[in-house]
Each structure stands twice: as structure tokens, then as C-alpha cells.
Chains A and B, each alone.
Chain A
């Protein structure tokens, strides 16, 4: 089966510009997560979707970050305006909605550099 797809893989922007990342989860996976991984740190959850609804966005800096999953499949994460500290890899993960396995499948990530 196809894995989690993310694009773009790399993006370089200047501070105060905007950027958007796209994620296509594994087919049939109802739960989708966006994680931020700053260099030298473990991934940190930004937002979780269940189908097209937000389950948890408590860690999302809502003054500059936004995310949506309009049709319960693809998702977009946007940053506007970007700051230097937003330089990180943005990982998308998906999970089938069962309460047994709990395994998250990760995409390869989108690496953002803010200059």
C-alpha cells in the first residue's frame, strides 16, 4: 500500500513569508497528525484530526499556524508569517481508527528553512 505522501520535501523562505505543506495519508486512515521536529529534538504534536474534524490543536501556535482537512483525506498546514524558529521538519502521520494497534505511519517530512 502507498505510504503517507508529503510535499514539498524542502522549502526555503524568508521570515515573514508564508508557506504551506500538504499531506495525503494512507487510504482509509481516519486519524491524521502533524508533528514539528526541530533539529536535535523529538517530534512534537501540533494538531490531530479525526476525519475532517480537529481533535486536538492545543499545541498549535494559532497566531501563525493553521491547518485543515476539509474532506477528511488530504491535509494542509500553513504558516503565516514564518519566524526563524519555525525552521524544522514538519511530519505528517496517519493512523487507522482502531483502538488496538495504535501504530502511526509517518511521511518523509517537509523540511522548512526560514532565513
Chain B
């Protein structure tokens, strides 16, 4: 079975500071990993995805994530946070073997303070 754990429910960060959101996954084979962002009242928008190859992937809005197989992790980072980054972030795992039925973590809410 596939599953995702996001250990941090809520993170507060100052504008301009760096941000790291943790994600740990469980999957029997090579996982396909995703980070989505959800602003209040909006749907989910894909930030980035990892399928294979380079373990450091770049996404939109200045985000990046690093896949570490040994740690079963796919942490999301941003060097300098903007107030517009305040949102909820979801890590998800899926695979072509199960037709990309994504399993999501519970999410991390990011608050940005001025």
C-alpha cells in the first residue's frame, strides 16, 4: 500500500526566510512523487513532480524538492518565501502501476509573517 506522511501540520515563516516542508512516503516500488499547493478556496495546483533521473527537481514559483530514496523522503524547499506562498501544501505519491491514483498526505499549512 502507498502512503504519505507530512509531519508538520503548521509552519510559520518570516517573509524572505527559507522554507522546508517534510514529506515521507511509503511505496513498494519506485514512487512517483508530487507536491501540490492549495490556496484558500482554490483547487490543487501542481508545484513539481519526480519520476526518475535527477533527484533534485525544480518546480514553479521558485520551489524545489529533493528525492532521497534511502530516507523515503521528498522534502520541498524554497530559499526565500514571499507572502503569496501562504497556503496549504500537499505531498502525494502515485505510480503508473495503479493508474496514478494519488495518495495524499494530510498537508502542511504555511503562514508567512511580514
A interface vs B, CB < 8 Å?
4, 31, 33, 40-45, 48, 50, 55-56, 91, 93, 95, 99-100, 102-109
Contact = CB atoms under 8 A, between A and B. Distances in A.
A50 B100 CA distance: 12
Contacts of B94: 102
Interface string B43-62: 11110010100000000000
Contact of B49 (A4, A95, A103, A106): A103
B106 A42 contact: yes
B80 to A, nearest CB: 26
Query: 10 closest Cβ contacts across the A-B interface?
Result: A42-B104, A106-B43, A106-B44, A108-B43, A99-B96, A102-B100, A43-B104, A42-B106, A107-B43, A42-B105
B65 to A, nearest CB: 15
Contacts of B107: 40-42
B102 A45 contact: yes
A76 B103 CA distance: 22
B30 interface: no
Nearest to B45: A106
Contacts of A44: 104
